[in-house]
């Protein structure tokens, strides 16, 4: 059976087309070649699905024209029987149309044209711009403990080449912004604050920036909080010790009493409650649990130090809670009485579930500021019997006599019941009346040079309030009538409660 000549010719051209595409283009004398063209070299930047036209024509008629993209031949006017690639059309004047652009159309295009007396080549280019895409390694959720160093890689594509930037919990890390298809960043987990979303952003001005992220969960050893470091009670009462544990992953907690594990049963029970907090909205993997140890009826043997010890796979932490029958620390109250130059009325309050037997009042004078290097005097201690009261609240008034006029003093007080002495109260200051105006000393600054004081000094806090109250009555001396004495004490207590 004979094959038509036209079909044979087409088949032959299809076989020869790859060879034709390998023909070298002559770029010698580029300036001379470009002068022969009416069209000019063109670089077209466009977008996907658009249509572009690459010009290629002379002032004079031409015999043929053919186009190459990089080293691949696209179309040759000498062989109209060979169809051009899809989406490509050769115009009659030699220009090339590319429609419905795709990213693979990006490249260098060469127009080779032959006229009666000229053979020239002109270069063009198409850059198909498209919005970026990005991927991150690793991705998903990453759980790592504090102290870990890890690498995050960002892979971006797009034309033009995207610029890559990093964000941690919405905050841009400007120092890590770079241009390139592949960027990496080394993170070192220094604290729990790094927990959250690590993002890579790729932007090239086309469309919206692309974003990829990994959720970082920072694992950490338990952190403990004590609502009440000291729990005051008495024998026979019900007592409750609390320990709040924050951890990731979840921690296991155990109670100890003087180093011995606490055994729960009919006398002692325990339970835990899952807490929630708005501050943990992003850290929903963190557990926040309140552990409670309940002693249903306190015995003497139950008093003392309790240890709350929490452990997870990262580490452990412990803290202590004291269960005691001692009085609570005393708190001084402001006395709104009149001022005196040689005496001062002190009012304080404390709470004790057991009867208070006595108070220990400590006071001393602070030298005035005109002394170059003040030297503090020793503490004067007074033992003051406690008055009977109804209920656990004790409000006591006491007047100091024989003080120096226009002077500054500091004072502290302790209370004792059958279980022992309370902790020291906060040390406060007061001034006696006189013509000399005294400065408001800072307790903290006074302590900078005083490193040899007794341990009582360690309890002094930053409170530096000067009391200007003066004596309203001398509760330490008799008045010939016990009724008047009790009435005076009652008035002092009422005044103290009124101005608390």
| Under 8 Å between Cβ of 27 and 121 | yes
If one compares 377 and 402, the residue with the highest pLDDT of the two is 402
pLDDT digits (tens, 9 = 90+) for 176-226: 556 568 888 999 999 998 999 999 999 998 989 999 999 999 999 999 999
If one compares 87 and 445, the residue with the highest pLDDT of the two is 87
Q: Write b or e for each residue in 70-93: b if 16 or more Cβ atoms lie within 10 A of its Cβ, otherwise e.
A: eeebbbbbebeebebeeebebeee
| Under 8 Å between Cβ of 389 and 497 | no
Could you give phi then psi for residue 434, rounded to 5 degrees? 160, 180
Closest CA to 234 of 302, 132, 336, 139: 302
Burial of residue 445, with CB atoms counted within 10 A of its CB: 0-12 exposed, 13-18 middle, 19 or more buried: exposed
pLDDT digits (tens, 9 = 90+) for 136-150: 999 999 999 999 999
Separation of alpha carbons 160 and 139, rounded Å: 25
pLDDT digits (tens, 9 = 90+) for 396-451: 999 999 999 988 999 999 999 999 999 999 999 988 876 444 343 333 333 333 33
Domains and CATH numbers, the chain: 5-129 (2.60.40.10), 138-220 (2.60.40.10), 226-324 (2.60.40.10), 331-498 (2.60.40.10)
Model pTM? 0.66
Separation of alpha carbons 384 and 396, rounded Å: 10
What does the mean pLDDT of the chain come to? 80
């Amino acid at each position: 059976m004979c094959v038509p000549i036209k079909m044979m010719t087409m088949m032959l051209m299809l076989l020869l087309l790859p060879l034709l595409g390998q023909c070298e283009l002559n770029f010698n004398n580029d300036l001379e070649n470009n002068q022969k063209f009416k069209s000019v070299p063109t670089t077209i930047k466009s977008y996907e699905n658009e249509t572009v036209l690459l010009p290629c024509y002379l002032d004079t008629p031409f015999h043929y024209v053919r186009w190459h993209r990089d080293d691949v031949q696209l179309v040759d006017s000498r062989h109209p029987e060979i169809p051009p690639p899809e989406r490509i059309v050769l115009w009659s004047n030699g220009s090339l149309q590319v429609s419905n652009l795709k990213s693979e159309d990006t490249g260098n295009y060469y127009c080779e044209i032959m006229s009666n007396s000229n053979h020239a080549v002109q270069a063009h280019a198409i850059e198909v711009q498209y919005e970026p895409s990005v991927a991150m390694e690793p991705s998903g959720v990453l759980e790592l403990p504090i102290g870990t160093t890890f690498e995050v890689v960002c892979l971006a594509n797009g034309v033009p080449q995207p610029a890559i930037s990093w964000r941690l919990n919405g905050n841009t890390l400007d120092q890590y912004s770079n241009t390139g298809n592949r960027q990496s960043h080394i993170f070192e987990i220094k604290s729990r604050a790094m927990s959250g979303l690590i993002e890579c952003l790729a932007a090239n001005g086309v469309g919206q920036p692309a974003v990829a992220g990994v959720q970082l969960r920072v694992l950490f050893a338990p952190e403990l909080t004590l609502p009440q470091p000291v729990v005051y009670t008495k024998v026979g009462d019900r007592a409750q010790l609390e320990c709040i544990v924050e951890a990731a992953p979840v921690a296991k907690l155990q109670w100890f009493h003087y180093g011995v594990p606490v055994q729960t049963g009919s006398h002692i029970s325990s339970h835990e409650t899952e807490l929630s907090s708005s501050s943990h909205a992003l850290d929903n993997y963190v557990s926040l649990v309140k552990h409670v140890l309940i002693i249903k009826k306190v015995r003497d043997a139950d008093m003392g130090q309790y240890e709350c010890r929490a452990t997870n796979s990262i580490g452990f932490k412990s803290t202590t809670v004291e269960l005691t029958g001692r009085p609570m620390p005393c708190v001084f109250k402001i006395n709104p009485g009149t001022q005196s130059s040689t005496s001062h009325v002190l009012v304080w309050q404390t709470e004790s579930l057991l009867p208070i037997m006595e108070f220990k009042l400590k006071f001393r004078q602070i030298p005035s500021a005109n002394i170059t290097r003040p030297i503090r005097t020793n503490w004067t201690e007074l033992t003051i019997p406690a008055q009977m009261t109804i209920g656990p609240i004790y409000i006591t008034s006491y007047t100091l006599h024989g003080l120096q006029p226009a002077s500054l003093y500091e004072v502290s007080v302790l209370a004792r019941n059958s279980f022992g002495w309370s902790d020291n109260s906060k040390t406060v200051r007061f001034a006696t009346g006189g013509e000399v105006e005294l400065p408001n000393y800072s307790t903290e600054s006074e302590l900078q040079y005083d490193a040899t004081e007794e341990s009582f000094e360690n309890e002094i806090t930053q409170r530096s309030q000067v009391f200007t109250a003066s004596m309203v009555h001398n509760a330490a001396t008799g008045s010939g009538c016990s009724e008047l004495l009790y009435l005076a004490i009652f008035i002092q207590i009422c005044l103290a409660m009124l101005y608390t």
